[in-house]
Structure 1
Amino acid sequence: MQSSRILVNDVLVEPAALKIKISGQWQAIEAKQLALLLLLIQHQGQCVSRDTIIEKLWPNTLVSDNSVSQLVAQLRKTLQDNKAAARFIKTVPREGYQLVASISEPPSIKEKLVAPRINRPIYWLLFGGGVGVVISIIVSYLSQPIKQTSPFKYDSRLTSAPGLEVYLRYSPEGRYLAFSHLDENQSQFDLAVYDSQSKIVHSLKSTSYSEEAPVWSPDGKWLAYYRFDPFKCEVRAIAVDHTIEMWRLGKEKKLFDCELGYGPRKLYWLTNNHIVFNTQKINKLIVESYEFDSQLNLVKSYEYPEVVGEILDVVPESTKLLLKSQASGEFDLVFQTLENPEKKSNVLSSFDAALAVWYQPDQIITAQDQLQIQNITRQTTLPISSNSSLIGDLDISRSRGSIAYSEGHAQVSVYRLDSLRNLVPISSATRIDVSPSVSSDGNYYAFVSKQTRQNLSSEVWVRNKLRANAELVYTLESIESARLLLFSPDNQYLALMTESNKLLVINLFAKSAVKIATEFNLLRNVFWARDSHSLFFTSSDENGNPLNWQYDLLDSGNKLLKTHQEWPPLKERNITFTQFSEDMKSYLLPRLTAYFDESQLTASFALYLPVLHEHGAYFVIRTGHELSLYEYDNTTGEVSLLKELGTYLYDINTPLALTTSKNGKQILFNRIDGIEMDIVLHQSTKERQ
């Protein structure tokens, strides 16, 4: 009887059971990943095109190339493969993917005992149609509607008034929900608490300060929060160990000072009386903690430079951190413990989640445009809410099985600063507009516009500065988002680089686009030739070595360059260049520290990266919630205030950018104009134990 198992290198695959064995340990493999692996096995040593993968794995379904890229990335992580030095799956640039692993039938117990191991080709499976049958069964199974019931159901809407409710935090036993509230036309947050027993919202703090991002002590007797004003930032704690009506009169204690230039980063209070949070160092986001005694006196502070990423959630009793990390070059959800920070983080999911919380040991709840549960083991997702509104914050009470999240909408618009220093809107106020760009001569503007409510595709718009309206020139695929827009020197073309590592050139007169790089690794260093006839960029080979390319618009083809193409000067580079933000900081920080504190500059640069022009630089400084635009003059070395830009109240996971023309006369930027969010509650459908 022939084996139903396949040995791929040293990984044992059992298709019928949807599991694989790596390093002696069995683990589940998601069905779609298995179908892809079997398809590659069927064509071992051959390049399988992306079109073939889509045809076989998503029959009669409209999907994008990005779905293939994500699936390949997930399978690589399951197999513990390294893209730069592939042992299993090799990327064939501009073609598809190739299985480079050896394939054999695993030896029987008898063979292990009496004979040396021989890797026998499994032609009985490859050419007997076995793999094709298994793939068909898996795809057929995946195509069938799966009746899954969400473990949560809609309970109620907690708030419904103009304004913003965010920074949600359940108390340890789940009765209370603390949050920060911002009334319409107000620029300072107030602190409030919802009592689920009485169904009443109590105002806890309403002062001239901005009180934000509350967190409960593990015993529920203290509530810590940030307190901002234009001159200082403190983390304070208020006693809440008596009746809720008296909380606003409870004793308070200052815990520590915080950086004024940064917005509040969520605090996490562990059972060992450590408060953990993210802090920004010069070049990266790290984890820091403060240890307190039983009287909330500061004992010691700690830094964890080995733990890199944004904290999304913490299990207080285990110091287990859920992080969003980009260490691999792509966004991943990973976990790492503070007890052993040197240990390499474990990747849970290849997913760029804006928000995520632990639900169960093998499940996390994530939020992007909708709420969903991700099963880490099975690599599956289940929607909780199909609402496609913007989700701004999320928390869960595991003890009560309750979910609270903030949903609503935001307006992000592009503005131009005119010669009289007035702000002139360039885009509509009904959408989220990002990636503003201005041509070198200042005659054309471009931006990317998206609508979150309908979850429509992003659109690229271009406007002549002498005309009142912008023109639509390109529509991105539904799941794509833009990273860079770059005008050619003659203004006839617009280069577009996406977050998924694709590069396109848009003909602005024909309003047509050509994809010039879709299968390259780690695209970077994108810039135009001065004659506008070529676009240069860099990728990496399978071993991580740089490859320099030239796309010729006349020949409509890519040419691999034998020598490194000289980069343009720093003032003409863009965010795709290697070490660009670090080079910008290295250039500006020594020139600006006489005017601003270095930590404030670093924090402000993380929000809006400065932009250089031939006479100096423009940069935005954040002080509390206030934003101000400044200019640095190369000739005099002086700094001058150009314009107060308004307030930045809350991070909605939307990139903000500042750009200018070569001579510095045209200045464009995007700004969050308004956020409306209410709190929505969901309750577990399961009985509490």
Structure 2
Amino acid sequence: MPQSQLDKVKVNEVEVDFIALKLCINHQWHDVEARQLKLLKLLIENYGQAVSRNQIMDALWNDTIVSDNSVSQAITQLRKSLHDDKETPRFIKTVPRVGYQLIAELVFPEPPSEQAEQFKKNKFNLTLVAAASTLVGIGITMGIVELAKPSLQVPEYTYESRLTSTPGPENFLRYSPKGRYLAFSQSSNNRDQMDMAVFDAQTQAVHVIKSTGYSEEAPEWSPDGKWLIYYRHDPISCEIRVMSVVNPVETWRLSPDFHLSDCQVGFSRQKMHWLTDNSLYIQRWKNNSPILSKLTLATEGYPSLLKQDDLENIHPILMDIDKATNQLLFVEQSSQGYVLQHMDLVSTKRNVIESREQEYWGLKWHESGQSFWLGNESLRLMSVDGSSEVMHLPIGFIPDIDLNPLTKQLAHAEGLVNVNLYNLQLKSLNNHQQVIAKQLSSSARTDILPTLSKNGRQTAFISYQRRSTDGLKHIEIWLKNKDKKAANLLANLPENIHPKYLLWSPNGENLLLGDSRQNIHLINIYSKHLVAIIFDYKNIDEVNWSSDGKFIVFSATNGDSKQLWQYDLQLASTKLLEEDKLVVNQITEQESNVQALQTSEVLSVEQMKKLNPSYHHYISHVESFLSAHAPEQLPVDNLSPSLLLYRPHIFDLGIYYVVKQGHQLALYLYKFAEQDHVHIANIGRHEQDINLMLNISASNDGKQLVFSKVEAFETDILLQRKSPE
């Protein structure tokens, strides 16, 4: 009987329902695993002949590498479910040196009568007519709804000119209220800070107005255009300052500036929004999370701060506010990615426009409450109902946008960026070494998440072929062997898999890939097969290999409780550990560690060694531990910005972490035994945060390291002119 028609069958006295995954024995129905019924169906389809062990392996584990013992286990489980005896079989016979044969009597359901078939046909026709009527009604309703939606009025824009051509990034574009000036930040001559510049559309000249040795970023104009505020920061301080711009632009660099407010050191910056003379909205960081904050200003004399109110229910990582209507566009991060929303600041009513796993770059209102501009992999005009139109495809990506309030001229930054991998080999784990970082991957791709095997001989990493910083297309896993010049492709990933971490097995033969949806995938470096093995669980956390590499232990939530699970690589099956006392006894140390992670703010050294990037609170645990141990030796007062930029690495001897000091990246090691922080080496510069996961990984002895680094970040400012209507 064809497999597609095999829904029910009687095997000897046992009734089998392949659809419901049940067996009926002695008038009692029992649930049975899908793999057992798949094996039974294979034996039925080959009734009268023996099925080889290889046939069973191909049918049951076609994408997974398992041992020959897995077939024996599967046959044993099926015999147990059928109440069959291996010594005196009535269902499944072992054929020596060949395989297994089904010897039971099979009884298939009688074919339905013509009357029953006609009844089914009539019922189907009635159902089809009803469904068609329903669809027509739905279609009419949807058509009415679509007609009622605000249509996307797409203006015509044409390329006008390129405004800048200087090394490094240009960002934080901001037009003055009357549209004559465009303020922005750009790299200094030696690329160790950001200077503030202004383009004068009347004279077609660019003026550098702030170059002080600090980084000056995110300029914003007062509503009357007489003041300019900006962030000024260095590795140890950050403040918002204000300067007068009432004199000719050529003299602005000489204008005195004044302190307005303090800001958090080290965190990424977002544009400020000066809505009225006395109200300024900014993004600030609180408890390592962004929140929207309203500053109330005094308007007599130069602007000064009166009070600050935090809107703690809004966590924008990107935002724009229309100054005339108080309409807020903002992006928040969620467990599944990013949520683009629209909110009225007066009524506080918010609407979700769309959600996606990729991050957003460049956000600017076009018509308040109706449409806005989005950057990144393309320049798009989008309506608040979610419809969009691509207006321009850049060579690389678009990180920032602004719109001239009078002429509607569009300015946007556009450029390219490389993210490469580098290898470090240390002679010792001591202070201030002279190291030479060797490039590990090609600059033609964006390569992230490098992960070293325990012995340091193999590096697995994720490679994106992409037009922008988050156009996640052509995602691949690559493997670089220390003794070979070229890396090898392990697997191509489907576009719905967005990797978050890689974990090597103890023997270096398998990799676990955790994705943004908290699914776990297994890849064998020899077969190069990628298989989803752990999925459809809630809040998968605390993923660990067993010491022999045969099992994967993880936790997941069921309601309000957390459960510990084990995946068996040989059986390709998952079981709840609490149901197997033998396994529970073997995993006692694991369980106690999980409980400690739930209750302890600062973990012990042994608990820290258990952590890996699959743990939900990995970064916060590392930060708490480092801050509590030899805090006087820490290179910065606040580790959070650096740990959010570079994911640290824990190994047997300590914790490697990267600290961003200004634009300089410094590699540090906390040694468990000595209980001190050691500066290993400087590993380069970081000019611009591109919201990609950067990390460092090391071998077990700590002397082999690999890390990802953003470099060759280059953007220019381009102008698009709106065509006359």
**TM-score, normalised by the number of residues in structure 2:** 0.70
Contact 1:259 1:600 in 2 (8 A): no
Residue 225 of structure 1 and its aligned partner are, at CA, apart by 1.7
Out of 357, 360, 363, the residue aligned to residue 371 of structure 2 is 363
After superposition, what is the alpha-carbon deviation per residue over 1:290-313, rounded to whole angstroms, capped at 9, x for unaligned?
332112122223333322232421
Q: Which amino acid aligns with 2:246?
A: D
Contact 1:163 1:677 in 2 (8 A): yes
Match of 1:653 in 2: 691
Q: Which amino acid aligns with 2:549?
A: S
- Residue 184 to residue 433, structure 1, CA distance change in 2 (3 Å): farther
CA distance in 2, matches of 1:592, 1:373: 51
Q: Does 1:215 align with 2:231?
A: no
Contact 1:260 1:623 in 2 (8 A): no
Match of 2:465 in 1: 451
Out of 130, 134, 140, the residue aligned to residue 133 of structure 2 is 130
Contact 1:277 1:311 in 2 (8 A): no
Match of 1:279 in 2: 284
CA distance in 1, matches of 2:257, 2:400: 26
- Residue 314 to residue 411, structure 1, CA distance change in 2 (3 Å): same
Q: Which amino acid aligns with 1:385?
A: H
Q: Does 1:314 align with 2:321?
A: yes
- Residue 588 to residue 532, structure 1, CA distance change in 2 (3 Å): same
CA distance in 1, matches of 2:136, 2:578: 46
Residue 276 of structure 1 and its aligned partner are, at CA, apart by 2.8
- Residue 147 to residue 334, structure 1, CA distance change in 2 (3 Å): closer
Report how many residues are paired.
558
Q: Which has the larger radius of gyration?
A: 2
Q: Which amino acid aligns with 2:643?
A: F
Out of 605, 614, 619, the residue aligned to residue 652 of structure 2 is 614
Unmatched 5+ stretches in structure 2: 1-125, 428-432, 594-606
SS of the aligned residue for 1:605 comes to helix
CA distance in 2, matches of 1:280, 1:494: 36
Query: Any residues of structure 2 matched to 1:232-631 within 5 Å, and which?
Result: 232-294=237-299, 295-327=302-334, 329-336=336-343, 345-351=350-356, 352-360=359-367, 361-377=369-385, 379-387=386-394, 389-420=396-427, 421=433, 422=435, 423-453=437-467, 456-478=473-495, 480-517=497-534, 519-539=536-556, 549-559=565-575, 562=578, 566=590, 569-596=607-634, 599-631=637-669
Match of 2:168 in 1: 163
SS of the aligned residue for 1:248 comes to helix
CA distance in 2, matches of 1:326, 1:437: 26
Sequence identity (%): 32
Q: Which amino acid aligns with 1:358?
A: W
Out of 191, 206, 214, the residue aligned to residue 211 of structure 2 is 206
Out of 182, 188, 192, the residue aligned to residue 187 of structure 1 is 192
Contact 1:370 1:388 in 2 (8 A): no
CA distance in 2, matches of 1:130, 1:449: 49
CA distance in 2, matches of 1:388, 1:517: 39
Residue 224 of structure 1 and its aligned partner are, at CA, apart by 1.4
Contact 2:634 2:677 in 1 (8 A): no
Contact 1:222 1:238 in 2 (8 A): yes
CA distance in 1, matches of 2:696, 2:392: 35
RMSD of aligned C-alpha atoms? Answer: 3.3
SS of the aligned residue for 1:129 comes to helix
CA distance in 1, matches of 2:420, 2:190: 18
CA distance in 2, matches of 1:349, 1:265: 21
SS of the aligned residue for 1:575 comes to coil
Out of 633, 640, 662, the residue aligned to residue 678 of structure 2 is 640
Contact 1:168 1:393 in 2 (8 A): yes
**TM-score, normalised by the number of residues in structure 1:** 0.73
CA distance in 1, matches of 2:196, 2:688: 15
- Residue 480 to residue 578, structure 1, CA distance change in 2 (3 Å): closer
Q: Which amino acid aligns with 1:130?
A: S
Q: Which amino acid aligns with 2:379?
A: L
Query: Any residues of structure 2 matched to 1:20-35 within 5 Å, and which?
Result: none
- Residue 371 to residue 521, structure 1, CA distance change in 2 (3 Å): farther
CA distance in 2, matches of 1:246, 1:410: 35
Query: Any residues of structure 2 matched to 1:218-229 within 5 Å, and which?
Result: 218-229=223-234
After superposition, what is the alpha-carbon deviation per residue over 1:429-483, rounded to whole angstroms, capped at 9, x for unaligned?
3332111211233222111122333865122111222333221111223464321
After superposition, what is the alpha-carbon deviation per residue over 1:255-312, rounded to whole angstroms, capped at 9, x for unaligned?
2333333344432222153333223333422233433211212222333332223242
Residue 661 of structure 1 and its aligned partner are, at CA, apart by 2.8
Out of 631, 647, 671, the residue aligned to residue 709 of structure 2 is 671
- Residue 186 to residue 284, structure 1, CA distance change in 2 (3 Å): closer
Contact 2:395 2:415 in 1 (8 A): no
Residue 183 of structure 1 and its aligned partner are, at CA, apart by 5.5
Contact 1:307 1:336 in 2 (8 A): no
Residue 493 of structure 1 and its aligned partner are, at CA, apart by 1.0
SS of the aligned residue for 1:162 comes to coil
- Residue 215 to residue 592, structure 1, CA distance change in 2 (3 Å): farther
Residue 545 of structure 1 and its aligned partner are, at CA, apart by 6.2
CA distance in 2, matches of 1:495, 1:196: 55
Q: Which amino acid aligns with 1:129?
A: A
Match of 2:118 in 1: none
CA distance in 2, matches of 1:220, 1:419: 55
Residue 592 of structure 1 and its aligned partner are, at CA, apart by 4.5
CA distance in 2, matches of 1:380, 1:539: 37
After superposition, what is the alpha-carbon deviation per residue over 1:481-539, rounded to whole angstroms, capped at 9, x for unaligned?
32111111111111112234443211111112112246555443333222222334445
Residue 217 of structure 1 and its aligned partner are, at CA, apart by 1.3
Contact 1:263 1:625 in 2 (8 A): no
CA distance in 2, matches of 1:681, 1:511: 47
